[in-house]
Amino acid sequence: MADQFDVVVIGGGPAGYVAAIRCAQLGLNTACVDQWINARGKPALGGTCLNAGCIPSKSLLESSERFSQAQHELADHGIKVSGVKLDLATMLARKDQIVQDLTLGIEQLFKANNITWVQGSAQLQAGKQVQVRQTGKKTTRSLVAEHIILAPGSLPVQLDHVPLQDDIVVDSSGALEFRDVPKRLGIIGAGVIGLELGSVWQRLGADKVTLLEAQDTFLSIADEQMAKEAQRAFAKQGLDIQLGSRVTACQVKGKKVELSYQNVDGEHKAQFDKLIVAVGRRANTHALAADEAGLLLDEWGFIHVDDYCLTNLPGVYAIGDAVRGPMLAHKGSEEGVMVAELIAGHVAHVNYDAVPSVIYTHPEIAWVGATEQALRASGVEYRSGVFPFAASGRARAMGDTGGFIKLLADAKTDRLLGAHMIGPQCSELIAEAVITMQLGGSAEDIALTMFAHPTLSESVHEAALAVHGRAIHIAPRRSKT
C-alpha cells in the first residue's frame, strides 16, 4: 500500500528542501526523499551544496583568507604578528562543524513544518508513484502524490583518462578533505570550482598551484573586462593558469601523479602531489525515472521543462541543477519556491535575467545580467559606467583597493541590463544590482538613491553616476578626438 501525499519531492538539496518547506508552509502534505550519507555514515539533508560544496568550501575560503591576512597583511595595519602557524586539523574540524550544524538545522525545519523525510534512493514510476529503496533497510517504500517535484541535483564530471584515486586524484569534494597542504597542486579546470579550490590551498601554503584550462579564453562566461582583471589578480597571487591546455594522460606513481597535456607550445609533462578534477558538473538523472514513466531528458541528461519547471508529465516538475540554466543553489531554491506556489494555485515565476553569479576568491567576482560582449554582439545600444575601488575611501581604509564595479544600462531607456564587479565583498554588493533589475530599475534610480558614507556600496552609486558621466570621485573620461 502506497503512502499518499499532496507533494513528493525527490532530492534534499537547496532546490528540494526549499521546495518542500514552501509546500508545507502552503498547507500541502509533503514528503521529501533524499539519499545523501554524510562523512559520519548518517543520512543528512542539504545535498551537495551544504555537505560537500558551497558551505564547506566557503568555510575554507574564509579560514584560508584569514590565515593569509595574518601572514602578509596585518603589519600594514600596525599589527605585528609572529610565528603564525597553520592548524589544518582544527580548520577542517571547524568546517565540518558548520556543515553539521546547518544540516541539523534543516532537519529541525522539516520537523517544525511536519515534512516527512524519507531516507533512501527514489525512482519515479508511471502514474505519479515514487519507489524508494530505503537507506539501511532491505524493504522498499511506495509514495503516491498528486504533484511530484524532481530535484536530484548534479554530480562532478569525471574524465575517463583521469580516474579518481584515493586522496591523490580527487574531485571537488575530495579537495576539501586534504589532511596536508600539497606542495605542488594540479587542477584540471580554471572555472569557478577550480579557482576557489586553488585559492584555498595556495593561501594555506602550496608552493605552486597550476590550473590547466582547455578553453582558450579565461572565464568566458563572464564580462571580458572583468575576466582580464581577474586573470591579472590571480597571476599576481601566484596561481599558474595555463589556457588552451588539454590533458591527454594521467598516471599515479607512488604518492605522486604525473600528467601529460598539450597546448599551442606542444606536449608537456608535469608532476603533482595532488590533482583536482574540476571540469564541471552533470545532471544527476541516471535511473531517476523508470522507462515506463516517460520522463523526457535531453542528450546531456537534463530534464526537459518549460518556463515554469513543468516536465512533459502532468503534475511532475523538475528544478535545480538537473534542468536548464546555471547550476546555482539560489537559482534552484527560487525554482522550488515558484513550483510550490504554482502547485498551491498561486501566480509565480522566476526572472532568469536576474540570476546573480559569484566566485568567492579574493578578489571576489560577481555578475548579473548581460555582459558587454553579449550586448555588442546583439547590437543593443548601451552605456557603461565604471568605478574603481581604488577611488573608494572605505576600500582604502580596508587596504583592499583592487578591482572595479561596472554597470551597463540601455542607451535609450536607461534600464539596467547588467552589472559586473570584482573586488572586496562583491558577493554582497551584487544584490543591489539584482534588486534594481528585478524591479525594472534604471541606472538613474541607483544614482538618485542615497548611500551611507564611507561604504563599499557607494561604489555602486558612483558607477551608476558614471553611466551618465556624472561620477563625483573619479575624473571624467576624456573625449575622443
Residue-wise pLDDT for 152-193, tens only, equals: 999 999 999 999 999 999 999 999 999 999 999 999 999 999
Residues 85 and 221 in one domain: no
pLDDT tens sequence across 69-89: 999 999 999 999 999 999 999
Number of Cβ within a 10 Å radius of residue 469: 11
**Three cell numbers, residue 402:** 583592487
| Residue recorded with cell 505519479 | 128
**Three cell numbers, residue 323:** 534542468
Q: What is the mean pLDDT of the chain?
A: 97
Residues 346 and 359 in one domain: no
pLDDT tens sequence across 254-312: 999 999 999 999 999 999 999 999 999 999 999 999 999 999 999 999 999 999 999 99
Buried b (16+ CB within 10 A) or exposed e, 267-278: eeebebbbbbbb
- Does 88 reside within a domain? yes
Residues 275 and 286 in one domain: no
Percent of the chain at pLDDT > 70 equals 99
Residues 367 and 457 in one domain: yes
Q: Which of 262, 279, 296 is the last residue of a domain?
A: 279
Q: Provide the pLDDT for residue 480.
A: 53
Q: Provide the pLDDT for residue 200.
A: 98
Is 274 within 8 Å of 178 (Cβ atoms)?
Answer: yes
pLDDT tens sequence across 193-249: 999 999 999 999 999 999 999 999 999 999 999 999 999 999 999 999 999 999 999
**Three cell numbers, residue 137:** 533497510
Residue 188 — φ and ψ, nearest 5°?
-95, 110
Q: Which of 316, 335, 350 is the last residue of a domain?
A: 350
Q: Provide the pLDDT for residue 127.
A: 93
Residues 13 and 121 in one domain: yes
pLDDT band, residue 476 (cuts 50/70/90): confident
pLDDT greater than 90 at residue 28:
yes
- Does 67 reside within a domain? yes
Q: What is the CATH number of the domain that holds 260?
A: 3.50.50.60
- Does 478 reside within a domain? no
Alpha helices in 238-366 (DSSP H): 329-343
pLDDT band, residue 123 (cuts 50/70/90): very high
- The residues that bridge with 357 in the sheet, in sequence order, are 367
Residues 16 and 136 in one domain: yes
**What CA–CA distance (Å, rounded) separates 11 from 21?**
13
Q: Which of 303, 333, 350 is the last residue of a domain?
A: 350
pLDDT greater than 50 at residue 61:
yes
pTM: 0.96
Residues 256 and 359 in one domain: no
Q: Provide the pLDDT for residue 481.
A: 43
- Does 342 reside within a domain? yes
Residues 270 and 180 in one domain: yes
Residues 275 and 295 in one domain: no
Domain with 140, as residue range(s), is 3-156+282-350
Average pLDDT on 311-334 reads: 98
Residue 343 — φ and ψ, nearest 5°?
-60, -35
Q: Provide the pLDDT for residue 479.
A: 56
pLDDT tens sequence across 395-454: 999 999 999 999 999 999 999 999 999 999 999 999 999 999 999 999 999 999 999 999
Residues 330 and 403 in one domain: no
Residues 6+ apart with CB under 8 A from 149: 7, 8, 9, 10, 16, 19, 20, 23, 317, 318, 319, 336, 339, 340
- Does 477 reside within a domain? no
- Provide the domain count of the chain: 3
Is 258 within 8 Å of 250 (Cβ atoms)?
Answer: yes
Q: Provide the pLDDT for residue 477.
A: 75
| Helix/strand/coil percentages in the chain, nearest 5 | 35, 30, 40
Query: Would you name the residues annotated as active-site residues?
Result: 453
Residue 265: Cβ-neighbour burial (10 angstroms; 0-12, 13-18, 19+): exposed
Residues 272 and 190 in one domain: yes
Counting every residue written for the chain, the total comes to 481
E-strand ranges in 356-399 read 357-359, 364-369, 382-388
Residues 15 and 102 in one domain: yes
pLDDT greater than 90 at residue 343:
yes
